[in-house]
Amino acid sequence: MTMTKKQRETIAQNLSAFIHNFGPIRFERADYGPGFFIYYPANAADYIHFAPSIDYLDGWLYGAVQAVHRIQPLYEKVSVNAMCGDCPRYNVDCNGTKEKAWTGCLMKEQAKKEGVTNAKD
């Protein structure tokens, strides 16, 4: 690995977990920037992924371990009705609905009448 001490410290925990679950891995610094080529297994001739930064590489290692164990992300992905996506009140004063058969929303219709715009735009 051609990394600085600080870079090695940044990925140490997730690298250890990756090696424990998958085996050895190799990184090579890109000649033209701050990124790293990822080789797996460590003796592979071709890289499998490119990480443009050390933080990205750390997240990639973390994600690989999470995926192999099928661990739930730290947040719960909410799947709301498609009609909620363009509603100006969604994520402002309404959390939407998970009901898939629901086709109308009084809050959305009222927002349109009032000319309310989406706060996250």
What is the signed CA dihedral for 61, 64, 68, 71, rounded to 10 degrees? 90
One domain, residues 58 and 31: yes
pLDDT of 11-55, one tens digit each?
999 999 999 999 999 999 888 878 999 999 999 999 999 999 999
What pTM did the predictor assign? 0.56
Q: How far apart are CA 61 and CA 56, in angstroms?
A: 9
Boundaries of domain holding 87: 82-114
Q: What is the pLDDT of residue 31?
A: 85
One domain, residues 51 and 86: no
Q: How far apart are CA 32 and CA 35, in angstroms?
A: 8
One domain, residues 53 and 25: yes
Q: What percent of the chain has pLDDT over 90?
A: 38
